[in-house]
Structure 1
Amino acid sequence: MSVHNPNIKKITTHQLQEMKVRKEKISMLTAYDYSMAKILDATGIDILLVGDSASNVMAGNETTLPITLDQMIYHATSVVRAVDRALVVVDLPFGCYQGNSSEALRSTIRIMKESGAHAVKIEGGSEIKESVLRILSAGVPVMGHLGLTPQSIYKFGTYTVRAKEEAEAEKLIEDAKLLQECGCFAVVLEKIPSALAKRVAETLHIPVIGIGAGNHVDGQVLVTHDMLGITKDFKPRFLRRYTDLSGIINDAVVNYINDVKQGDFPNEKESY
């Protein structure tokens, strides 16, 4: 069953802003391929994120760092082909924007031209200000990302909660304000204390979307493969598994194997 408003044909950044104003929560999930994106879009999900988490869930890498711009464009193109309603946001992968705003713009233009996506997401605050401004100057919507920024995992050294100390919390608030002033249409806050996320959401007039940032923000995002139970070994506190697809798929394949081994598949009705 679909849960979306039938009056909304296509989600835009403007509609997300209106959702914040009327206190309607924003739903966001990741997508990396055509088939899954088609299913997700039909449910009425608001935003589909072509996340660099594809590096982990689709390619089996330990971090998000190895995924390339070409690979992100491949995933984004597959998702965009499937989508009628959701806003499609694409992660700028590691190495495509840090310290070089020209590179950031070139990477973004490739994503937009080759995939047809609607916006990009970029990790960091004041240190990437020039890249954000450069991308926005080309007319491309930008979503920010603060808190635990997985592309900086080797700097942090751990995937634990960020901004528990006052100094880091203050910097996060300042960075969030800066991203808003630059012109970002939304900000993702990952794995930070709920009270801090609430402060940010109340301070900003743009939507704030959380992942492990409590319930006092304007929306939530999860990795689809995690919430569907396709991945089994990732169990952070913030994750709610809505089904066990891993188990369902396992049972179906075991039944298929048994039917093939016993000569039960295909039967006469399944033959020509």
Structure 2
Amino acid sequence: MSVHRQAQRISVPQLMACKGERKIAALTAYSAPFARLLDDALDFILIGDSTAMVGYGLPDTLSFTVEQMAAHAAAVVRSTSHACVIADMPFGSYQESPAQAFNNAARILAASGADGVKLEGGEVMAETTRFLVERGIPVLAHVGLMPQYVNTMGGFKAQGMTDESAQRILRDARAHQEAGAFGVVLEGVAERLGREITETLTIPTIGIGASPACDGQILVTEDILGLSGSRIPKFARQFADVGAVIKTAVEQYASEVRDGQFPGLENCFGVKKT
């Protein structure tokens, strides 16, 4: 007889049930220390392909690989027990065909233990969303400003600023809902559009530079902690200056090493107490 362990982690159905009940809070993480600190406070953690930029110092997200995503997602899963964990599908890992998307999504989930994947793309990617969902892989769609489309969009520019663009993005979001996505990330869109999509869809919308009306919000953790340098995106807010705390601690450490104050005998092995 099999023994079923009760899951403690927030599930995808529980996230969906938040629609109209309460707001969803989410952030990104890609390492064990950050994931541990974020876990209790959040509904879900996203291992974003933004890791390429904030973690590796790359100019965009396009060179991140399936292997890298799986490794970072595994670190986050191992270090958490409460928040649902969603992994981004890297550029080039799902656009070729639904079958390619399934193979790579399955690799990421099997290697990491993550609860679902996020993929970018408009109406044209809805078929892929449907293919994955029908085969047991929860999908969080991502429309509006899509970093993996930076070259075709001509940069990181706000979307939905014209009626034509807004209607296209609304169709994109609807198509993913109809395909079975459990939620939609709305990034960098006009506020009125974010509000309209949220009111139209029956699945949660997760805003990042969208609208306060969205069913939830997500930001890059480094942006809210003062770890992204001097430039804070318009859609973010710095809630703490952790960078300054780290800088002060490192300066104190270096000073004490150079002055011979650290390490002390209490930091050494084999020293008898007197």
Give the distance between the partners of 2:31 and 2:113, measured in 1 at CA.
14
SS in 1 for 2:207: strand
Q: Deviations over 1:91-136 (max 9, x none)?
A: 0000011131111110011011111100000001211122212111
The structural deviation recorded for 1:14 is 1.6
Aligned to 1:41: 39
Partner residue of 1:29? 27
Per-residue CA shift, 1:4-55, capped at 9, x if unaligned?
Answer: xxxx942112211222131x1100000101111011113x211100000010
User: C-alpha distance in 2, partners of 1:45/1:235?
Assistant: 22
Q: Distance in 1 between matches of 2:168 and 2:96?
A: 19
Q: Secondary structure at the match of 1:144?
A: strand
Name the count of aligned residue pairs.
263
1:103 counterpart = 2:96 = no
Partner of 1:17: 16
Provide the C-alpha distance between the structure 2 equivalents of 1:266 and 1:60, rounded to a whole number of angstroms: 33
Give the secondary-structure state (helix, strand or coil) at the position aligned to 1:21: coil
Deviations 1:60-107 (A, max 9, x none): 100000101111111011111011010100000000111311111100
Match of 2:116 among 112, 115, 119: 119
Q: Which residue in the other structure is 1:5 paired with? A: none
**Would you say 1:250 and 2:243 are equivalent positions?**
no
- State the TM-score, normalizing by the size of structure 1: 0.94
- 5 Å-filtered alignment, 1:36-185, equals 36-42=34-40, 44-185=41-182
Contact 2:185–2:205 (8 Å) recurs in 1: yes
Query: Any idea what the Cα deviations from partners look like across 1:240-269, whole Å, max 9, x if unmatched?
Result: 011111111111000001101111112233
What one-letter code is carried by the residue in structure 2 that aligns with 1:179? H
Superposed CA offset, 1:115-173 (max 9, x none): 11000000012111222121112111000001100000000112121110111100111
Supply the RMSD in Å over aligned alpha carbons: 1.2
Question: Any stretches of 5+ residues in structure 1 without a counterpart?
Answer: 1-7
Q: Distance in 2 between matches of 1:39 and 1:167?
A: 42
Q: C-alpha separation between the residues in 2 aligned to 1:195 and 1:123?
A: 21
Equivalent residue letter for 1:37:
A
- Taking structure 2 as the reference length, what is the TM-score of the superposition? 0.93
Q: Following superposition, which runs of at least 4 residues in structure 1 exceed 2 angstroms of deviation?
A: 267-272
Higher Cα radius of gyration = 2
In 2, the alpha carbon distance for the partners of 1:52 and 1:190 equals 14
Contact 1:99–1:128 (CA<8 Å) still a contact in 2? Answer: no
Query: What CA distance in whole angstroms lies between the structure 2 residues aligned with 1:233 and 1:151?
Result: 24
1:30 and 1:223 in contact (8 A); partners too: yes
Shift of 1:201: 0.3
5+ residue gaps, structure 2, are 1-6, 270-274
Q: How far apart, in 2, do the equivalents of 1:234 and 1:48 lie?
A: 23
Asked if 1:223 corresponds to 2:223, the answer is: no
